[in-house]
Amino acid sequence: MKNFIIAFIVFLGWFYLGSRYYLCHVKQLCNPPAAETVVSESPAKNYDTETFNGFVIRKESDSVSLASGGEKLEKSIFDFLNKEQSQEVLITGYHRPEEGDSTGLKRAANLRKHLVTYGINPDRIAIASAEDYYQYDSRGYFYGGMTLEYRDIPNERKVIIEEGIANKILYSHFGSKEFVPDNTLVGYAEELKNYLNKYPEKKVLITGHTDNIGSAKTNEWVGMQRAKNVMNYLVEEGVPQEKIEALSKGPHEPIESNATPEGREKNRRIEIKVD
């Protein structure tokens, strides 16, 4: 009986070690290529590898992955920049010496593209690159490699941002039956209010544009409805109604060919001019 118990214990130990080796070294399941993300509900002045562990970069690649919780980061940045109109976010992408400065910049640019897709104004996202001596793991992953920092908008960038506010093109679900303001429009409303407080003499012209599917008369009506939807939303958000005018150009001023779906999509737009 004693020998049986000893043999059984040895078998269990052998089984555990064998299973562990198979799962960790053969199937690579012990260390998945995405860390669990922890983000504070209130955005701090810095996001780095200590406060946000959700960045994953890869060897010989300029891609950047976000682990679970990335949406929390996006919303936190979006809300902070809407509240603090004098601030922008600086993304720094890191690279090893042999990878070169361009790799860090491309990583920062890819993260910037991700944030813009969420609805954050690209003019308020600066990018930079920095050298570091981190080590990739056995599969070529590094958990980190990016930092995000809020800072006062430099004077030279204020000019670019204000030019973007004064000449804005929106694509905000204008093809749907019900008007739904997306994050781009939500953020723009805050920026426009701030801009008009700084330049109270300026006026806002909102123009609706369409593709050429259907009659010109119908498209002119559609363009006006879409322009009015945007105007009404901006007024609801606090932009003085007397400062806004809405009109429609319908299909008459396309910026792309109407011969392709992609071109027609670009033509269905709202243009906002502030003078």
Task: Note the pLDDT tens digit of each residue in 121-164.
Answer: 999 999 999 999 999 999 999 988 999 999 999 999 999 999 99
Q: Is the pLDDT of residue 36 over 50?
A: no
* Dist CA 233 CA 179 (whole Å): 10
Q: Is the pLDDT of residue 109 over 90?
A: yes
Note the pLDDT of residue 177. 61
For the chain, percent of residues with pLDDT exceeding 90: 71
* Dist CA 97 CA 129 (whole Å): 12
Q: Is the pLDDT of residue 23 over 90?
A: no
Tracing tokens 């064998």 back to the chain, one arrives at 18
- Summarize the confidence of residues 196-214 as an average pLDDT: 96
Q: Is the pLDDT of residue 70 over 70?
A: no
Give pLDDT tens digits for 216-263: 999 999 999 999 999 999 999 999 999 999 999 999 999 999 999 999
Burial level of 37, CB count in 10 A (0-12/13-18/19+)?
middle
Architecture of domain 46-153 in this structure = 2-Layer Sandwich (3.30)
Q: Is the pLDDT of residue 26 over 80?
A: no
Note the pLDDT of residue 1. 57
- Summarize the confidence of residues 89-102 as an average pLDDT: 96
Domain 158-274, CATH? 3.30.1330.60
Note the pLDDT of residue 72. 83
Q: Which pLDDT band, with edges at 50, 70 and 90, does 179 fall under?
A: confident
- Summarize the confidence of residues 6-33 as an average pLDDT: 46
Do the domains spanning 46-153 and 158-274 agree at the CATH topology level? yes
Q: Is the pLDDT of residue 63 over 50?
A: yes
Note the pLDDT of residue 180. 83
Domain coordinates in residue numbering, the chain: 46-153, 158-274
